[in-house]
Amino acid sequence: MDIPLFGSGPYATPPRSQFRTSQNPAHISDLRTEERTIGQLPDWGSSVDIPGGSSVPTAPPVRTAPIAPLGPPIAPLGAPIAPTIHVQPPTAQASTAGGARSHVTRASPRSTPQKIVDDAQSVGGMSRRTAQSKARDQQSPASIKSQHRTALAMSEKSVRAETENAYEDPLLPPLPSPRPWDVVTQRLFSWAMVWPPEDFVRSLETTALGQQVDEFALTIYMMTIFKRNLRHRMCSVPPLPCDKLFVPPNLADSVNRAVHSKRFADARQILEELWYPFGFKEPPRVIVALAKHRNDANHWSAHRFDLTSGKLVTFSYSTEEKSLVDGPPSTGWFAIRDAWPTWNIPHPDHLAQKTQRVITPESSRDDNALMAANCGRNLMLGWKPDQTTDLKKMRNNIWNEVSGRKANAI
Could you give the domains of the chain? Answer: 187-409 (3.40.395.10)
Write down the H helix ranges in 99-169: 113-120, 128-137, 141-166
CA distances from 139 to 21, 133, 135 (A): 68, 10, 7
C-alpha 121 chain-centroid distance:
33
Distance CA 251, CA 300 (A): 15
Question: Which range has the worst mean pLDDT, 150-164, 219-233, 238-252?
Answer: 150-164
CA distances from 96 to 91, 92, 93, 101, 102 (A): 9, 6, 5, 10, 13
List, for residues 121-135, the tens digit of each pLDDT value: 444 445 555 655 555
Distance CA 228, CA 85 (A): 60
Residue 38 is predicted with a pLDDT of 44
Structure confidence at residue 314 as a pLDDT band (50, 70, 90) = very high
Q: What is the mean pLDDT of residues 25-48?
A: 48
Distance CA 178, CA 180 (A): 6
Question: Which range has the worst mean pLDDT, 92-96, 279-283, 360-364?
Answer: 92-96
pLDDT at 360 over 80: yes
Residue 306 is predicted with a pLDDT of 94
pLDDT at 85 over 60: no
Furthest-apart CA atoms within the chain: distance in Å: 157
Q: What is the mean pLDDT of residues 85-90?
A: 50
C-alpha dihedral, 348 to 349 to 352 to 356, nearest 10°: 80
Secondary structure element (H or E) that encloses residue 216, with its range: helix 215-234
Structure confidence at residue 325 as a pLDDT band (50, 70, 90) = confident
3-class DSSP state of 126: strand
pLDDT at 228 over 70: yes
Residue 322 is predicted with a pLDDT of 80
3-class DSSP state of 318: strand
Q: What is the mean pLDDT of residues 149-177?
A: 57
Question: Which range has the worst mean pLDDT, 172-181, 190-199, 283-292, 324-333?
Answer: 172-181
Residue 324 is predicted with a pLDDT of 78
Are the C-beta atoms of residues 376 and 386 closer than 8 Å to each other? no
Distance CA 391, CA 375 (A): 12
Give 151 or 43, the one with higher predicted confidence: 151
pLDDT at 50 over 80: no
List, for residues 231-265, the tens digit of each pLDDT value: 999 888 888 999 999 999 999 999 999 998 999 99
pTM for the model stands at 0.59
3-state helix, strand, coil in the chain (%, to 5): 45, 15, 40
Q: Quickly count: other Cβ atoms within 10 Å of residue 245's Cβ.
A: 25
Residues 6 or more apart in contact with residue 169 via CB below 8 angstroms: 237
Smallest CA-to-CA distance from 32 within 14, 52, 18, 51 is with 18
Q: What is the mean pLDDT of residues 82-101?
A: 47
What whole-number percentage of the chain has pLDDT above 70? Answer: 57
Paired residues of 122 in beta bridges: 127
Distance CA 355, CA 322 (A): 13
Question: Which range has the worst mean pLDDT, 52-56, 217-221, 285-289?
Answer: 52-56
Smallest CA-to-CA distance from 272 within 200, 335, 365 is with 335
Q: What is the mean pLDDT of residues 193-212?
A: 91
